[in-house]
Every structure is written in structure tokens, then in C-alpha cells.
Amino acid sequence: MKRKLINVLLSVVFAASVVLTGCGNNNTASDAQGEGDTQAVTEVQEEEGADTEEATAEPATIEFWTIALKPTFTEFFNGLIAQYEEENPNVTVKWVDLPYESIQEKLVTSAAGGSSPDVVNLNTQMALTLAGKGALVDLNAEATEEQRSIYIPSLYESTQIGNSAYAFPWYASPNIMFYNKDLFEQAGITEIPSTYEEANKLAKQMKDSTGAYLYNPPEFFNMLFEEGIAILNEDNTAAAFNTKQSADLLTSFQEYTKEDILPKDKWGVWDNELKLFETGKLAIISSSGSSLARVKDEAPDIYDKIAISAPLTGSEKLSRNALMNVVVPEASKNHEEAIKFAAWITNDANQLAFCKEVAIFPSTLAAAADAYFTSDTTSLEGQARAMSAQLSETSKDYSLGVEGQGEIAKEVNKAYEAAIVSGGDIQEALDNAEQLVNSELK
């Protein structure tokens, strides 16, 4: 998001939430009435009170923004919205679907113009950036304990800054490993590596035997998470990754890339990895289960060679779980109704239903434990679901818990670009990246 747009957002005076109230009938039955009559009168009064509240509740329109869900899921979400409106007759939900590349800018400009949406689908990085600017509702302060308690704790905490949390986690995409069985057989590799360290010992064997790379490393920023190397200090005021451990890590990868045993550029660039995998030039990719459909469509011959395993990890045994969230902008004029709808669209039943439409994984405890995810282990898709369920407990969205994570990640990755892509001095590369991150934090 452009800085000038953030500045525009900060100039907005956000509207207060409208608390919807209903009128009830507080009259009591006469003491002279019998017990049966008292009960009958009470029941009538309760029904009249409910009808009065429903009739007098102030109508609300909830504007719900999502990212790239139309037209594939139009029917599914129209059905959910119709159900919600039926259960909440005072609420109208207006659904707006936007491209990924434009939603953040449109959200900022709409808030600046006084027409903010009420519920918005954002990834963790976008959510943290806006939360740091005071643009999102603190759900720890405004949502109920019942609304907050249904989610996998590590996922709910991914958009925390301090003691505040700014999103209900929605659908997740745990990384799993897809590997080419034929390439492993040609290379004579019978044990599937589980860590980068194990994979690096086999990378030369794969390249010499098949001409294919064993794997493409993740971006350096993510690798630091997986190796347990702190990116920032404890109070998030300065860079902390310029360590001997980081230097040793880059040194080892510099040696492999100089010999062309592993790719030296485009680390973590998904489209490039997929292209290499689909042309038999890469033996392993890590992605969500939904990628199977794309491989099957674009490279059916490679799809037939795929097997599934847990993704490669670093010393922390941690893998990435990219998360989509639902947030309530502070500028919404309907905080209470917006939070209620956001909690409903991400509840156990609706997340499970969405997961049956597409190969994603839920963020709620109950939905994640559903037998659906482990009931089919014969098809590749079923194996992918089962692996996602298994990995949900050891994967997380890599979050620093600070605004501007995207810019920080770019500066961290410049150490890799200087040392690996350009072959420069490793310590100098880390020193420069450290200075850039510290400048970003200031």
C-alpha cells in the first residue's frame, strides 16, 4: 500500500458504531392469576417482546468485501448470504468481490471518503499494516469471548499487536510437499527428506542423476522463521537477524547455488517453481492442496507422478500456513452487526462447508477436527486434505506482529539477493539489510 494512501486513512475521523437495541414488554402477570394462567401470559409476553424487538430493530446494511472469489464461488456465497439474511431479517448484506491487487488501496480510499465497508477479507500482512494505523476494530475489545474462542489459537493470534487482535482467521492453506516419484526413482533416492539440511545432502545426487533441482528454497525471510532466527528484537524496535547463524546459513546456500546444485534466484517465487515442477526440472514443490487441480490441468503427465509428504522444514520443524482473515474496519458504522456477521461467516459450519468446495483448511478447532479431512486417503486430493489436517498443529502464518511487515520482508530478502543472486560478501549483505530494516522501523 502506498504511504500517501495510509496518510489519507489516518486523516479520517472514524464513525462510532451503532448499537442496535430492541423494545420488550416488561409487564408482569397479576399475583391473583393461577400458575397456568401466569405461564400462558408470560409466554405471550415473550413472543410479543420478540416480535416487537424484531420489528423495531434498526435496519442495517453490511458491506462485505472479499478477494477473488467470483465467479467460482458466487453460488456458494450467495447461498450463505441468503441464509444469514433470513436468520437476521433486519440485516442486508451487500457482497463486493475485488481483485487481490486492488483491495487494500480501495479499502483505504473508501474509508477516506466516508463509505467504508463493514467486513473485509484480508491476508495477514494487509491486516497488520492497517491495524498498525488504527484502521481496524480490536476484536479482543469488541467481540465476545464466545466469538473469539472457536479458532485455532496460533491462527487467531497471527494478527495480534500487543494485547489487541484485529481479525477472525478464515481459511488457511497449509504448505504440503508434492514430489515427483519418477525423478526420485531415477536419482536412486529412496528416503524423502524432511528438512533443508537433509535435502541439501541429496541435492547434488538429484541434479547429477536427472538434471533437475531437488527443491527451490523459500524466500530468505521465511527461512529465518523456519530456522528459529529472530528477525526483530523482543520489543520489535530493531533488526536481530544479523547473526553468525544467519551468516552460516547464507554461506551454505551460497556454495550450493554457485555449483548450480540449487537454484540461486527466484527463491520462493511460486509461479517459477510451478513452471519448473510441471516441466520436470524440479523434484519438489511446497504448496497448498488446491495447487493439485492446477497441475492436473496444466501438466497431467506430471500430476500422474505426484506423491505427497510433509513439507521441508528448518530446525524449528515449522511450516507455513498462509492465512486469509476477516476484519472489521474501524470506519464501519455498524461495528456490532459487522462483528456478528464476520463471526458467522467464519464459524465452524460455514468454514467446513467452504472447505468442501475447494482444497483449503479451516481455522476453527471444531471444523479442523472433522472426519472429512481424513476420510479419504486413496486419492491425491484426499491425501492432501489429510496431510493439511496433520500439519495444522505445527504450521503458522509467519507474522512479526508489526505493521509494515511487507516492507521489512523486502529489506530482509535483500541480504539473500546480494549474497546469493549477486554472489557478494555475506557479512556485508547482512549489514546492509540490517540497516535497511532499522530505517524501516524508524
Report residue 260: phi and psi, to 5°.
60, 30
Report residue 180: phi and psi, to 5°.
-85, 105
What is the Cα–Cα distance from 311 to 305, expressed in whole angstroms?
A: 17
Which residues lie closer than 8 Å to 75 by C-beta, 6 or more apart? Answer: none
> For strand 395-396 and strand 319-327, is the pairing parallel, antiparallel, or unpaired?
parallel
Residue in the structure block whose three cell numbers are 491425501: 383
CA angle 141, 145, 147 (to 5 degrees): 95
Residue 198: C-alpha distances to residues 10, 41, 215, 252 (Å): 48, 75, 12, 13
Whether 214 and 283 have beta carbons less than 8 Å apart is answered as: yes
Question: Residue 60 is inside which H or E element, if any?
Answer: strand 60-67
3-state secondary structure of 167: coil
What is the Cα–Cα distance from 433 to 442, expressed in whole angstroms?
A: 14
pLDDT in tens, 3-54: 434 443 433 333 323 222 333 333 333 333 334 444 443 444 444 444 444 4
CATH 3.40.640.10 fits 179-320+397-441, yes or no: no
Of 118, 175, 76, the C-alpha closest to 398 is 175
pLDDT in tens, 47-105: 444 444 444 468 999 999 999 999 999 999 999 999 999 999 999 999 999 998 888 78
Fold equal for 57-173+322-385 and 179-320+397-441 = yes
Tell me how far the alpha carbon of residue 220 is from its chain's centroid. Answer: 19
Question: Residue 177 is inside which H or E element, if any?
Answer: strand 176-180
Cis peptide before 71 (omega within 30 of 0): yes
Whether 148 and 165 have beta carbons less than 8 Å apart is answered as: yes
User: Does the predicted model carry a pTM greater than 0.75?
Assistant: yes
Per-residue pLDDT, 390: 84
Which residues lie closer than 8 Å to 116 by C-beta, 6 or more apart? Answer: 15, 63, 107, 110, 329, 331, 332, 333
What is the Cα–Cα distance from 84 to 93, expressed in whole angstroms?
A: 8
Whether 416 and 250 have beta carbons less than 8 Å apart is answered as: yes
CATH class of 57-173+322-385: alpha beta
What is the Cα–Cα distance from 83 to 60, expressed in whole angstroms?
A: 16
Q: Dihedral of CA 190/196/197/201: which sign?
A: positive
Domain regions of the chain by residue span: 57-173+322-385, 179-320+397-441
Cell numbers representing residue 438 in the block: 532499522
pLDDT < 70 positions in the chain: 1-57
pLDDT in tens, 97-134: 999 888 878 888 887 788 899 999 999 988 988 898 89
